[in-house]
Chains A and B, each alone.
Chain A
Amino acid sequence: MNDFITEFILLGDPNIRWVLSGSVLFGLAAGALGCFAILRERALVGDAVAHAILPGVCLAFIFTGDKDPFALLIGSVIFGWVSLVVMDYIVRNTKLSSDTAIGMVLSVFFGLGVVLLTYIQSTGNVNQSGLDAFLFGSAASMLPEDVKLFGMVSILVLLALVFLFKELKLVSFDPGYASVIGYPMKRMEFLIATLMVVTITAGLQAVGVVLMASMLIIPAAAARYWTDSLLAMLIIAAAAGAFSAIFGAAVSYGVPSMPTGPWMVVSCAIFFTISYFFAPVRGEYRRKRQRRLLKKKITGENLLKVFYKLYEMDDNRQKGRTISDLVKRRNMKPGELKKSLQHLVKNKWLNHYSGNPEAWTLTDAGFDEAKRVVRLHRLWELYLTQKLDLEGDHVHDDAESMEHMITPELEAQLIAILNNPERDPHQRVIPGQNGSNIAEGGK
């Protein structure tokens, strides 16, 4: 364990420095590029390309008789490209769908790779040992010259992403618009495809071909939960990719029999799980919380409306309303009703009635708030009947949901469109902001 700390964490072993820098550069490039794959719905294309480069690796080995990194790079880029062209050709020229084309290329090319790999193994070439590390990746088997070449490749990908960010963004989000304003779409497609093939090649030794796709998919999918901005998403995904590379390399270094790729994937998956539940923008926890808050707001607003309607009936604001008064006007579950009453008291919209602790009255602020909700409800009903020609008895339910959503700007517009209306379709007064109705309050 002490060796592990001095050699790995403090980078005491020079070999570790190489391994780590190579894996981290790949993690950065794969994470960032994966965002475009996800956004363009090409997630599984990466899977097929990654599997399809195996025959390229094997052929490069057969021709050179050695694991020369440059030959491996050429071989895998060629096969990655061929696989993309074949998939595109099948989708374009046959009735088969893209998922069939992806599955076909993935399995057949990989099958060819396996045939070549087992053929090489059967020839007994002494250099072939370690070739199967390309299946699941082995950070420990990376040599300085591998890192120099594949690290350079990753840096090139990252530079391309930085300098072409604006173009890539446009092409990913709105290809139609991009082609209309004269972007060379074919060249952009070619560029993105090349970046993908090259990135996959760069991760050959770190992740291996089998799990490569997950390095493109998982960091990007996780980053999506944290932000709505593409730039931030790229940075988060790249950071997640880099971190998982460190994690994978650490495990593989500590336990040499362990392949690197699976551990990188697992650390990505952990990050994904955390993001899915706890990410601040789109995480499940925040969404649940927002939904709860919204529900609380809606229940409260509905309850205020009940108070207002009771006030409309007897014109007595000071009278305390008991639970049975409230339930008579609107059917609510007792538990929900009590909670909502507490919430409204806490917001200083309701007061406990001085004579009876089991009765409540509206405060001034509560009265204004209740008026606001009732006003929005009746404005919307009027808008539906006047402008959309709906029947008066059909508009209540729609207004029930819209009254909680209408913003002050929209409210002002509605009042303007409807010419400061006084009464709703059921001839009830629309309460204004200050006076008894809008017409007075508005003037």
Chain B
Amino acid sequence: MALFEFWILLTACLAAATCALTGSFLVLRKQAMLGDAISHAILPGIAIAFLLTASRNTFPMLIGAGAFGLLTVYATEKLQEKGRLKSDSSMGVIFTTLFAIGVIIVTAFASQVDLDQECILYGEIAYVPWDIWFFNGINMGPRPVWILGFVCAINLAFVVSCYKELKIYAFDRQLAVSLGLPVIFIHYGLMSSVLFSTIASFESVGAILVVALIVVPPATAYMLTQKLSLMLAGSVIIGVVSAISGYYLAVATNSSIAGAIAVMTGIFFFLAVFLSPSEGVLIRKWRARAGEKEPGETPESLKTGSLSV
């Protein structure tokens, strides 16, 4: 494996793991589309940060993206509450508008901004190996790897340290409130984790793959297990496997890496939907058929029963 290949794979795997950890909770909380909304709505923040600093400096970008991410979450909630819109409509109004503004900024300043319309959608993971971070003149390796690794570590720390609270919160918010858990803290912790994961992944893998990595591997893992710990581990593994297989699919077909990874997550998802040993469509069909046979068998048991009476 060439070195650049290693860096691309490592970036993709880190993005997959980061998104899977936080995405699992969004899927359980039925807020999967929040990842979609945030990943689109942070674009103007990133574009403005690029414009103002005229560089790909990470820190201003994080601030810009973070501000617009928070704006999205806040505005969606406010519009829902004060504007009396349904949550999906208010989310749709906010994030599509912000995304459109982002695309306009990027197009208008295309010469100054090192971003184009396509990289917004697909990201530019193929260029990751050349985006080197020099610390005191020492080559530290690609910058996105550091950022994603850092966010991934934060996510992991958050999930491990608040595991019990997150678990109750994810399955039964009312119970969490009545148990006196710091629900507000958990909610905002989770939102920030979504925000950080999205921002860190957006630049390298693009808006669409962020959505795929947040929603699909956790949904796949959820089809395979009922246990939260297994679901978290499973979604990370599925995300990483999708990332690696997607990369080779993209190389084989000479196409977009982000797109191919999204396709692979989808393939694993459908495999799980049909073949999951606990609740796959096939096993349920098979069980239903086995269940149909039972009436043929029950007369036997009824007979023995009636004999004893």
Contact = CB atoms under 8 A, between A and B. Distances in A.
Interface of A: 38, 41-44, 47, 51, 90, 93-97, 99-100, 102-104, 106-119, 122, 132, 135-136, 210-211, 213-214, 217-218, 221, 224, 257-259, 261-263, 265-266, 268-269, 272, 276, 282, 284
Interface of B: 27, 30-33, 35-36, 82-86, 88-93, 96-97, 99-101, 103-104, 107-108, 110, 117-118, 121-122, 208-209, 211-212, 214-216, 219, 222-223, 249-250, 253-256, 258-263, 265-266, 269, 273, 279, 281, 284
A262 B27 contact: no
Per DSSP, chain A at the interface is: helix
A115 B83 contact: no
A262 B44 CA distance: 12
Contact of B259 (A94, A114, A276): A114
A51 B209 CA distance: 13
A119 B32 CA distance: 29
Given A90-B273, A265-B100, A269-B100, A107 B209 contact: yes
B234 to A, nearest CB: 15
A296 B121 CA distance: 53
Which 9 A-B residue pairings sit nearest by Cβ, starting from the closest?
A111-B262, A108-B266, A114-B259, A214-B96, A107-B212, A265-B100, A103-B215, A262-B100, A217-B92
Nearest to B23: A103
A104 B223 CA distance: 13
A100 B217 CA distance: 11
A96 B118 CA distance: 31
Q: Among A44, A119, A214, A263, which residue has the most Cβ atoms of chain B within 10 A? A: A44
Contact of B253 (A104, A119, A132, A269): A119
A430 to B, nearest CB: 39
B93 to A, nearest CB: 5
B97 A214 contact: yes
Contacts of A117: 255-256, 259
A217 B222 contact: no
Q: Among B222, B253, B266, B269, which residue has the most Cβ atoms of chain A within 10 A? A: B266
Contact of B92 (A43, A266, A284): A43
Contacts of A106: 36, 208, 211
A47 B208 contact: no
A238 to B, nearest CB: 17
Contact of A43 (B86, B103, B255): B86
Given A104-B215, A221-B90, A258-B107, 4 more contacts: A99-B31, A106-B36, A132-B117, A266-B100
B259 A100 contact: no
A276 B262 contact: no
Per DSSP, chain B at the interface is: helix
A96 B222 contact: yes
A284 B261 contact: no
A415 to B, nearest CB: 36
A429 to B, nearest CB: 44
A136 B103 contact: yes
B33 A102 contact: yes
Contacts of B83: 276, 284
A94 B278 CA distance: 11
A58 B255 CA distance: 13
A288 B183 CA distance: 32
A162 to B, nearest CB: 24
A103 B35 contact: yes
A217 B99 CA distance: 14
A214 B121 CA distance: 17
B93 A96 contact: no
B256 A114 contact: yes
Contacts of A132: 117-118
Contact of B103 (A116, A221, A262): A262
A221 B79 CA distance: 11
B33 A108 contact: no
Contacts of B261: 111
B92 A100 contact: no
27 contacts: A41-B86, A43-B86, A47-B36, A51-B208, A90-B273, A99-B30, A99-B88, A100-B32, A104-B216, A106-B211, A107-B212, A108-B263, A108-B265, A111-B266, A112-B259, A112-B262, A112-B266, A114-B208, A114-B258, A115-B253, A115-B263, A116-B255, A117-B256, A136-B103, A210-B121, A214-B100, A266-B104
A44 B91 contact: yes
B211 A103 contact: yes
Given A38-B89, A44-B88, A100-B30, A107 B253 contact: no
Given A111-B209, A259-B103, A103 B96 contact: no
